[in-house]
Amino acid sequence: MNKVQHKNAIELTSVTKSFTLASGSFQALKNVTLRIPAGQLVAVTGKSGSGKSTLLNLITGIDKPSEGSVSVNGVHIDKLSESALASWRGRTIGVVFQFFQLLPTLTILENVMLPMDFCDSYPKKDRKVRALQQLDRVGILDQADKFPSALSGGQQQRAAIARALANDPPIVVADEPTGNLDSQTASSIFLLFASLAHAGKTVIVVTHEKEFSAFFENTIAISDGVITNTSTVSA
């Protein structure tokens, strides 16, 4: 597995993302150029509809840019085929969602083992130990054999973060990961993200919650598809 960390984990160059609507073409992102250095904890902020999820979808390769290029950890992902992209994504990017999206019929341990099963990233005999290590890392090793419904919201999000870490991706993206959690639990989740960045992962978090800005080394503010404020931008 290629574990080389590039200086810039994310590079968007002159990226425009257009959607075709009945009323014509709509630009959700407009000529965005952006560099995110490896190992940073970065917030993406902006009003509803400003383009935050569109940006994440381009970084994870779920969407392709209409114009411009997207390079993630040194790979020009807009040039990958769909099958190469799926395999690349599973190994390179861990994704965390607002509503956790754990599979309810699997235990927490089984949920965390899933990405390794999907990507065949580690030998079968090693997957359980590796999943337990991730649960330990996020502080819920004692919840391994429970089903998601038996866990608190904060514990479920920790489990989802453990699952995102299963394949040891260099990049973690999270779309409003604390939107469904109380403020104290949210703080503990942001601390966990900070520890991941400290350990060298690039962590990109979409959040509406301004009170947590101190956790982030950089903030990318988006307004109407344009980046209005960030110290990570360079032309």
Ligand X SMILES: Nc1ncnc2c1ncn2[C@@H]1O[C@H](COP(=O)(O)OP(=O)(O)OP(=O)(O)O)[C@@H](O)[C@H]1O
Residues that bind ligand X (CB under 6 A): 19, 21, 26, 28, 46, 48-54
- By beta-carbon proximity to ligand X, the closer residue of 50 and 92 is 50
- Residue 225 beta carbon to ligand X: minimum distance, rounded to whole angstroms: 7
227: phi then psi, degrees, rounded to nearest 5: -80, 125
- Residue 17 beta carbon to ligand X: minimum distance, rounded to whole angstroms: 8
- Residue 62 beta carbon to ligand X: minimum distance, rounded to whole angstroms: 11
- By beta-carbon proximity to ligand X, the closer residue of 54 and 155 is 54
What gap in Å lies between CA 91 and CA 89, rounded to an integer?
5
- By beta-carbon proximity to ligand X, the closer residue of 40 and 57 is 57
- By beta-carbon proximity to ligand X, the closer residue of 51 and 148 is 51
Closest CA to 94 of 76, 121, 74, 70: 121
- By beta-carbon proximity to ligand X, the closer residue of 27 and 69 is 27
Closest CA to 163 of 177, 182, 179: 177
- By beta-carbon proximity to ligand X, the closer residue of 39 and 46 is 46
Compute CA distances 13 → 10, 35, 36, 56, whole Å: 10, 9, 12, 15
Compute CA distances 216 → 62, 84, 128, 197, whole Å: 25, 32, 32, 10
Site of tokens 């959040």:
207
- Residue 36 beta carbon to ligand X: minimum distance, rounded to whole angstroms: 17
**Per the structure block, which two tokens stand in for 10?**
């994310």
- Residue 31 beta carbon to ligand X: minimum distance, rounded to whole angstroms: 15
- Residue 51 beta carbon to ligand X: minimum distance, rounded to whole angstroms: 4
